[in-house]
Amino acid sequence: MKTVADYNFENKKALIRVDFNVPLNDHFEITDDTRIRAVLPTIQKILKDGGSAILMSHLGRPKSGPEEKFSLRHLVPHLSKQLQIPIKFADDCIGTQAGELAGELAAGEVLLLENLRFYGEETKGDREFAQALSRLGDVYVNDAFGTAHRAHASTAIIAEFFKDKVAGLVMQAELKNASKVLQHPVKPLTAIMGGAKISDKILIIEKLLDKVDNLIIGGGMSYTFFKALGGRIGNSLVEEDKVGLALELIQKAKAKGVDLLLPKDSVIADSFSNEANQQVVDNYAIADGWMGLDIGPEAREVFSNAIRNSKTILWNGPMGVFEMENFAQGTISIAEAVVEATNNGAYSLIGGGDSAAAVNSLGFGDQVSYVSTGGGAMLEYMEGKVLPGVAALANK
């Protein structure tokens, strides 16, 4: 697979699939520009070579056709400021205006196309739509790792219509960093799995049991494990149909010599609210009417010690409802332990999604080894699945 580093873009129009699916507030202002900043080096390399850049992305999930709140036009001022050049904007991603603006684009210039998902054909992987997009550029660049697990028109199908197709620097970095955990981890290797549902993480947990020394389980999914072990979990989140599977995973970890760490205690609440009454209890004895919303102080200490003694760390998913201040301490403690281990020479990969949002919001983004821009894509890659967006770039 070629990357932008291997390619000279002089006098070329690069059609770049980026991931500008960024959060906007009610005034259409960007509240987290991590994904935009991530792709700037790819764009700058192309412009420095003497090429031009045509950017295409999705934003949000439009239901049927254009919606003002999902227009990429809202990103133009910020992108222009970041690149320090004026950004041209096309009101459509295909059609006459897009074609004319792309055709007139000179070296050093940047054109942003309107939201790809204003067309249902994008997510359906429609070949005609992909071909219409392909006419806008000379070379195809995919730097949207966050959508690489989707066989969409702009992420996979479009590559068929290009002789020259390369991976952007984000895509390259994502794959390289994932391989440090998957293929060449320095031991001990600790994986931290959090989030609400065990069903979202079954495949990756099973895959990791063959690689890790320690597997830390936190967040809402941990209560399914305690239910499997015969604990009282009150009104905590539980997947009743996954209780048997949780027991199986505990037995597999034991058979493979993996230290499976479950939280000893929880911060529980009598309602799903930041203002709820709270107490700290053992995870085998949560009373009815109460629910676990964060890991407790004992769990924070045990988990943090395991992390500090690790040489490679993978973290995917928060330890509690970190969006609520009163239930964020578990996630904060884990983030601090990961930063401390990293400062002491460990390699740390934050696997996108909520854990990436937590690390960035706490200001730790530049104190860990790598923060992935793709939650779902990173999970599927770690599970050993072929990502359509990556496979499409292979030079056959």
Half-sphere exposure at residue 216, Cβ-oriented, CA atoms within 13 angstroms: 33
Q: Is 232 helix (H, G, I), strand (E, B) or coil?
A: strand
d(CA 328, CA 201): 21
Instruction: Write down the catalytic residue from 60, 99, 365, 376.
Output: 376
Token readout for 302 is 């045990």
Token code pair at residue 199: 């069903």
- 8 A C-beta contact, residue 22 and residue 74: no
- Per the annotation, the verdict on 363 as an active-site residue is no
* Other Cβ atoms within 10 Å of 96 Cβ, number: 9
Task: Work out the number of other CB atoms within 10 angstroms of the CB of residue 348.
Answer: 28
Q: Which of 220, 320, 353, 375 is catalytic?
A: 353
Q: What CA–CA distance (Å, rounded) separates 140 from 128?
A: 16
Cα of first residue to Cα of last residue in the chain, in angstroms, is: 9
**Which residues lie below 8 Å from residue 67, measured CB to CB, with a gap of 6+?**
60, 118
Which of 2, 180, 197, 232 is an active site residue? 197
Beta bridge partners of 55: 16, 112
Name residues whose C-beta falls within 8 Å of residue 163's C-beta, 6 or more positions apart in sequence. none
Q: Please provide the DSSP assignment of 160-215 as one string.
A: GG-S-EEE-HHHHHHHHHHHHHHTSPPSSEEEEE-SS-GGGTHHHHHHHTTT-SEE
In the annotation, is 244 catalytic?
A: no
| Residue 366, SS3 per DSSP | helix
CA-derived radius of gyration, the chain: 23
168 is catalytic: no
What is the C-alpha to C-alpha distance for residues 271 and 367, in angstroms, rounded to an integer?
35
Q: Which of 40, 23, 42, 39 is nearest to 31 (CA)?
A: 23
- Distance between CA atoms of 156 and 377, rounded to whole angstroms? 14
257 counts as catalytic:
no
So which residues are the catalytic ones?
A: 35, 197, 353, 376
